[in-house]
Every structure is written in C-alpha cells, then in structure tokens.
Structure 1
Amino acid sequence: MLDFVQNNIFFTLLIINYVIAIGTAFFIILNNRNPVTTVSYILSLIVLPFVGLLIYFFFGQEYRKDKMFKRRKVFNNEKVKQWEKKLLLGEQELDKYEDKFLDNQVNIVKLLQHNQKKPLTFGNDVKILINGEKKFESLFKDLEKAKDHIHLEYYILNSDNIGLQLIDILCKKAQEGIYVRVIYDYVGSDLSGKQVKRMQSCGIEIFPFMPVWFPNLTRKLNYRDHRKIVIIDGTLGYVGGVNVSDDYVNPCEKGYWRDTHLRIEGNAIKSLQSHFLLNWNFVSKQEIKIIDPFFPQMDNCGEVAVQIAASGPDSSWPHIMEAIFTAINSAKESIYITTPYFIPNEQILTSLKTASRRGVKVRILVPKEGDSWAAKYATNSYVLDILESGIQVYHYCKGMVHAKTMVVDGEFTTVGTSNMDYRSFEINFEVNALVYNKEISQQLIRIFKNDVEHCDKVSLEQWKERDFSEKLKESFCRLWAPLL
C-alpha cells in the first residue's frame, strides 16, 4: 500500500482532494445559502481540484464572518444612534411627504426606516461631481477649511500622486490641531508603510480594515470595506465611486475613467458619520467618545431630501439591494442605470425585466471592456435576456465607466459605492446616498444621455450573431458570478 502511494503520489492526492471536497460540498449544502452561490462553490470543488478547495477556503467560509461580528459590539452603541431615532418620521408625517413629493418613493423611505432605522433627512445641499479630477479639486478645498475633525474611509487609498496630495493636506491639518481619523481597506489599498508612519507621526489616527496575509493574492477576499466616505466637521461629506488613486484622475495611464461622486452638506452627513464611527470602533478596537462636534446642530443648507443606505455582511438584510429593488418596482416611467459590473441577483434581474415589460423605459449603461475580463463576460451573459425584455443596453466606449448610479422616474436617485452585483449586495460593506429630488435626478439623466453619446447601443439582432467563443466565455464566467 505504501509503495502504491509513493508511486502514485498525484493520484493519491487527487483522491484525498475529492474526499475532502465531497465532505465540504455536503457542508455547503447544509448551510442553506443562496442556491446560485452554493452551486458555484460546488462546481469549483468538482471542476478545479485543489484550487477549488483554496477558493472555498478564501471566499466561502463563514467562520471569518462569525468571528468578525462577535467583535463588532459597536452596533450596541446607542450613543451613536440616538440622534437618528429623533429624526425618524412617523407614519402620518410620511403620508404627508408622500402627497407632497415622495409619491411611490415613500416605500423606500419606510423600508430603510423600519429595517435600518435610517431617517430621511432634510435641509441638504447636494452637488454632483463628475470624475476624479472634479471630486479632488472640491475635496481638497473643503479639507483645507476643516475646523474640528476630518474622517475618511476608503476602499482604495494609494500613496501615488493624488494620494500623496491628500496625505499632505491631512498631515497639515493634523498639525494644526484638527482631529484626523482614517480607515483604509487593507486589500484594496496600496498605502506604503512609510506614509502610514508619516501620518501617525503627524498625529493622524489611521487603521486598516481587516488585514490579511497576502493582499496582492486575495484581491477579492470577502467582507471588504468598499466604501468611499469623507466627513468634515460633521456637516459636510462626500460619497460615491471615486477612490484615492491616480487611476481615477484623468488623464490616467489606464485611459479615460468615468465616475460620479456626490458632495453633500446638511443633516444627511450625520448618517454618514454614524457609519464611520461604528466602523472606527471596529477597526481601532476601541470605543470612541461621542462628542457634540460629531453631530452638530445646523441650519438648512439646501432643499434636498437625502437618506443614507448602508449594507454589509453584518446586517440581517441587504439594505441597498432592497432599496434598489423597491425603487425599480415603484417605477412608472423610466429607469436609468450606470454600473461598471452588471451581475444582478435574480430579484433585481426579474424586477428590471418585469418593469420593462409593463412599459417602463429601462436603460442600462456598462463599460464595453471594463477593468476585469471575468466581470465583463459575466455582465455580457445577461445582455441577451434583458434585450429580449425590451431593455436598452449601451456599451461605453470612451474608457472605463465606474459610476454607480440609478435614476427612477426623474425623481429618485441613488449614487454611491454599490455595484449592481452579488459582491456589493451581499458581501462587501457599501454605502449609497438616496436622493429624493427632481433637479438632482434630471441632472443625472442629462449626464446619462451625455455618456450615451460615447456608447455603442447593443442591437438584439447583432448580439444574437456574436461568436460562439464569446457565448462560451460568458456562460463560463456566469457560473462564477457570485465569486467575482
């Protein structure tokens, strides 16, 4: 027997692999997870010996999630949430605002108030910032004016040219006595140890989100902090798709990068602040003292109603996905979606196709090439299905479109960090601003139509005639969609 093992070492290892794989497959089935995700993991165990087990070890196991959220006791921090409870609107007040301007969107407000206790806030000023160069020009000016504190939370924070410009400002403000706190995702960011030490020496408090051993080998490791948040003095903030990297500032080495970000001033920043503080307690392993400057009283800054939706694996419900789902189902006239990755779950896919077939004008804009080969083909695998339902699809040709926006009926808008894919809906930490305002919505529709001028409209007839090799790539990548 020993001689057989020694002479057939690969065959022996293969048998051991499949014994372990079969046991793992039973374990996955017994977990009663999403059927699509379950099938994807089981297929990887069968089709990819050895590699499949590694994929499941890095991406599929829930023990990291359980361990992580046993530590995440900050969600019991009532001090952070007290102000939100005061701002929650009662049913009678919601009915009043429904008649006034919310119309069908009142269901989204109720959903987030009931599930996440996130209030609809008034008195906000919202500005749309197109691309990284506009975002950073505005952000740097606002950072220079900070008087009490600066809070940043980014998926990608690189120590490249734009990153160093940001770090220079943060160090300057910290040395002026401003409290500066920074959270960066350990996997997504390329922040040098030298710059971390520099920031710390200037008095900046900085912590990575969930460090891993080999970040360059695990770019898609589960439960990443995909948010892009800035809060200044508790009154002004930024949220959207633009990370801190030269890739997001045109012109860049990778070509033209099309993105959308929001600058918000007003009460909505208190919601962004609460999410930052909860994450800060988690990454720093301390409970920050809640002080008045974090949630200052302020006069009305504008006329825009905003609600902040956040989601992550720490929640019982996928709040952002449910808000998007509710908005789609409430649509009467039009839906405009821009997303870098269109890999929807069945709920979103069905709601979009149903909306189109009941007469709603549905338009979806995605990059023609994108920054991920697998995501491109997984996205393309859905195109035929949605085209046959009457949805119009546009392939953006000018460069990479990374904006994450949706406009419904020219009245409701969501802009944030969440892609239209499994990872954003179920795995990563995301945050979106939901804007209930016709003017902002009409601006984004005009921006969408301007982007369409740089697109190829996908024809149903031509799409049906694409090469078999393309269809094969699409079908293969779609199998792994939950893992992308």
Structure 2
Amino acid sequence: MVFMAVHILVVAVAAAHILLRPHRQPESRAAWLVLVLTLPYLGALAYLLVGQTNVGRKRVERLRAAFLGLPRPQDAPGWHAVPRTPDRHEALFAVGRSISGYLPVGGNSARLMEDSNAAIDAMVKDIDAAGDHVHLLFYIWLADRNGTKVAEAVQRAARRGVACRVLVDDLGSRDLVRGPLWRDMAAAGAEVRRALVIGNPLLRALTGRIDLRNHRKIAVIDNRITYCGSQNCADPEFLPKRKFAPWVDVLMRFEGPVVRQNQHLFASDWMGNGGGDISDLLRRPMEAVKPGFTAQVIATGPTFRNSAMPEMFESLIYAAKRSLFITTPYYVPDAAMQAALCACANRGVDTTLVFPARNDDFAVAAASRSYYSDLLHAGVKIFEYEAGLLHAKTLTMDGEITLIGSANMDRRSFDLNYENNILVEDADLTATLRARQETYLTQCLRILPEEVGSWGIGRRLWNNALAIVGPLL
C-alpha cells in the first residue's frame, strides 16, 4: 500500500512538472509523460537531470545581469556615423534584433577563410599584430597543433603587454584546462577562465543541467577584428574523434561595426562567468567607418528568448524566394522547421540540404534520416558529404543573405546551448560562401527518394525510434 502511494506520488509530481513547465512543445511533454508513466522512477530522475533548461538560478541572474548591464554597442561615441542599412530584408534583421537586441549595422567587410588551417594561421597573425587586447572564446580548444599555435600567440601577446582574455567551455575544453598549455597562458599574463564550471557533477546536477554548454566561437582583437563560424580551436584531424576526420569548417574574418557586437557578447560571457569588468572597451570611440555591407550578431541561449534560434532559421526559410542552401552537421528539427523546409521546396524554391554521411553522433544521424522522406517528397535536394565530417553551419538565401556561426539545426542549439551567429546582407559575400557550399557537392552522395523508400524495416524502426527521443532533450 505504501509502495503504491509512493509510486502514485512520484508519477503525479513528475507529470505536474512536465505539464506546467513553460516553453515546452506538445511533443516534448508527450514524450516525457510516456517515459514517466512507463518507467516512473527512472523517468522522474531523468527529467530532474536533463528535462529542464536550467543552468542554475544564480548563473541565470549573473549572466542576464552581465548582458543587460553592459553599454550597448550603439551607445559608443561615433556610432551615429555608421551608415544606414537598406530595408529590403528589414523583417529578417528585425527578428535578429528582437532576439538579442543588436541592430543591423552597415559598413562591414569580411573574408572567408580558405580552410581550417588557414583560418588558424590568419588568427595567429592577427593576435601577433594586436596592440591592445585579444579576446578568445571557444567551446572546444585542444592542445594539438592548431590549438598550440593559438595558445603560443596568446602568450607572445601577453608578454608584450597586450591584455589577453581566454574563455573556454568547462566541458568542451576539459582536457586543455587540465594541461600545461592552460597554465602556460596564465603564466605569461593572460587571464584564463572557464565558462559554466561543472565542479562536482552530482552537486551541479542538483542546481542545473551539466549538459547546457557555451558552444560559441568568438575572437575579437583590438575592437577592430572578429571571427565567426563553426570552427573550434583545433586541427581538422580532431584527434578525440579522429575516425570521423577531417572536420570541415567555415570561418569568416570580419571588420567594421559588427565587431563591437561580438565584443559586447564576449564581454557579457566573460563578466557573466566571473571575469573582471571590461565594459570600458565598449565605450571607446568608433573608428571611422568605411563603406560596407549590413551585418548583425544574433546571440541565443538558455538565458535568451525561448526557441529564438529556430525562429531565426524559420524566418529565413520562409523568406526564401529563389534559392536556399544549408549545411549543418546535426539536423533534428522541431515540427515547425521541418514544415518550413517542406513548404520552401513546395513553393518552387531551389532548396538544398547537406549533411555528413558519417556523423560522430549516431543518434543524431539516425534521427536526421527519419526526416528525409518528407523532405524529398516535397522537392528538397539532400546530399550527404563523404569526405569527412562536414561541421560547417552555413545558410545562403536568394544570392543576398548569409547566416554563419555556431548554431546547428538541432534541439541542443535551439534550447540548450549558448550560440553566436552573424546575419549578413551582401551579394558578393553570399556568392563567395555559396561557391564554397557548391564545392562540398563534389564530394557528396545525393540521396534520392527511391533509396530512402528501399530502406528496410529495421533501419526505419531505428531511425524513427531515435527521432522520438529528440523531444526528451
């Protein structure tokens, strides 16, 4: 009798929490309810540990206070001289502004890096030329060839008096922070910090989810240069998962007012994770702004508006009139995004998706393929990249719009991780990135409806079963 009462209490409390938690999709609530009703104790424990988007109350307060308390980029002296932006895609930039408050701003330029190694070499060159400060934030920083190159450049800069601040995710860069390279940077005079420190995993699990991570990749140098893209501070061989290598990434080097927005975002992460006050950097007068394209930083995460990243993706997808080309390593959409992509192809837009043929996450790979049939029947062209793990997160639209950054098209990037992206309106830069996207197709296998239709019952069961798990996260 007592056992039955406890059983009912556990189920009732867990179910109430599931039903009352805000910002949950109906399919997510349903999946959690099924788990709790089927396996009450295990389900309730799982929901306690990973069912809530919570980084901890104190962290939420600190991170939000840092972001909202900093001077806004547009408050800097000289910002009034920044060129006005065209309004052809005003609605898209309005979505971005509603998410993180950054204005679309003109006067920017960018250069697409040739490949991962060239990107690291360019970053090292910029760090070696820095005269005032170097700010670096990476989800993953490895002590491999490229990781060591950047760390040694930071040490050189710190020794000559440049203020160097290095922030890495405590989980993604756990091997670096335990090793000598981390200590060497600190000994040279760089300030080094860990984002979302885990500490004791059991205690941390009681105050917030361990797997909510800072997935951003940001470099800001002298308030003048910033980098944005999918690339972590590591070799393309990516030794922790070498069997999937090479990791194929995209990184862009930006100059112009958009740098101040990435600086603001870095500063909020730095100060929100216990770093010193660096708000004065945001108050420095703007340099003379040259003619250039419109760009906007879009920052998302658990302390920003719920489901902001899928809203941005879906706005871009619905805005497409002629062409839409997307590369992403992880595709586990919500229902709205899947419907948006099908609608895009159904209305005659040339719609192309490129995923890795071999994914480092078997569950994501299977879940992704469960969505292929509907996409293909709507007319979406699907390709699987076979020459490594295509890690680039890129979107080009109508030959004019580019979105590049750290966000994947999966639920982790939608709701759980801190991400940074830059939205660009420029035909030349979009053409350059589209050309890079097209090169991937030469190393891809096109997936046809007939192939998906021939998949056996076992494969379809596997894919669809793992797709059901997606809403639990």
Other structure's SS at 2:161 match: coil
SS of equivalent to 2:127: helix
Shift of 1:117: 2.5
What corresponds to 2:189 in structure 1? 203
Q: Which moved more, 1:175-184 or 1:200-209?
A: 200-209
SS of the equivalent of 2:382 reads strand
Query: Which of the numbers 244, 260, 272 marks the counterpart of 2:262?
Result: 272
Partner of 2:95: 111
User: Corresponding residue for 1:59?
Assistant: 50
Could you give the per-residue CA deviations for residues 295-332 of structure 1, whole angstroms, max 9, x where no partner exists? Answer: 55223456222111111111125443322222211111
Question: What is residue 318 of structure 2 aligned with on the other side?
Answer: 329
Q: Distance in 1 between matches of 2:238 and 2:415?
A: 29
* Larger RCO, structure (CA 8 Å, separation 6 or more): 2
Deviations 1:122-146 (A, max 9, x none): 2222111243212112111111111
Alignment check: 8 A CA contact 1:239 1:416 kept: yes
Change in Cα spacing, 1:273 to 1:164, as seen in structure 2 (3 Å) is same
Percent identical among aligned pairs is 26
Residue in 2 that maps onto 1:466? 455
Following superposition, the deviation at residue 52 of structure 1 comes to: 3.3
1:224 corresponds to: 213
- Which amino acid is 2:25 matched to? N
Instruction: Please give the root-mean-square deviation of Cα atoms over the aligned residues, in Å.
Output: 3.0
Is 2:122 the counterpart of 1:167? no
- When residues 15 and 226 of structure 1 are mapped into structure 2, their CA distance, relative to the original with a 3 A threshold, is farther
Give the partner amino acid of 1:381: S
- Which 10-residue stretch deviates more, 56-65 or 157-166? 56-65
Shift in alpha-carbon separation, 1:457–1:224, aligned structure 2, 3 A: same
What are the superposed Cα offsets for residues 204-255 of structure 1, whole Å, 9 maximum, x if unpaired? 111111111467999x944310000000001101111110123456996643
Give yes or no for contact 1:247–1:254 (8 Å, CA) kept in 2: no
Pairing partner for 2:248 from 258, 261, 280: 258
Kindly report which structure 2 residues correspond to 1:71-470, keeping only aligned pairs within 5 A, or say none: 71-72=62-63, 73-83=65-75, 97-98=86-87, 103=88, 105-189=89-173, 190-193=175-178, 194-213=180-199, 221-247=210-236, 254-284=244-274, 286-291=276-281, 295-300=284-289, 303-470=292-459
Q: Distance in 2 between matches of 1:386 and 1:215?
A: 40
Aligned residues: 464
- The more displaced of 451-460 and 65-74 is 65-74
Task: Indicate how the Cα distance of structure 1 residues 410 and 57 shifts in structure 2: closer, same or farther if over 3 A, else same.
Answer: same
In 2, the alpha carbon distance for the partners of 1:177 and 1:407 equals: 41
Deviations 1:322-367 (A, max 9, x none): 2222221111101000000111112222211111111111110001
- 1:403/1:87 CA distance change after superposition, 3 Å: same
Relative to structure 1, the CA distance from residue 108 to residue 376 in structure 2 (aligned partners, 3 Å threshold; closer, same or farther) is: same
Question: Do the aligned residues in 2 keep the contact of 1:132 with 1:249 (CA within 8 Å)?
Answer: no
More deviation in 450-459 or 302-311? 302-311
CA 1:269–1:20: 2 relative to 1, 3 Å: same
Secondary structure, counterpart of 1:307 in structure 2:
strand
Q: CA 1:64 to 1:300, structure 2 compared with 1: closer, same or farther past 3 Å?
A: closer
CA distance in 1, matches of 2:107, 2:292: 5
Aligned residue identity for 1:20: V
Maintained 8 Å contact 1:240/1:417: yes
Identify if the C-alpha distance between structure 1 residues 161 and 115 changes in structure 2 by more than 3 Å, giving closer, same or farther. closer
Distance in 2 between residues matched to 1:476 and 1:470, nearest whole Å: 10
| TM-score, normalised via structure 1 length | 0.88
CA distance in 1, matches of 2:170, 2:419: 16
* 1:41 match: 32
Question: Could you tell me whether the CA contact under 8 Å between 2:324 and 2:351 is conserved in 1?
Answer: yes
Aligned-pair CA distance for 1:51? 4.4
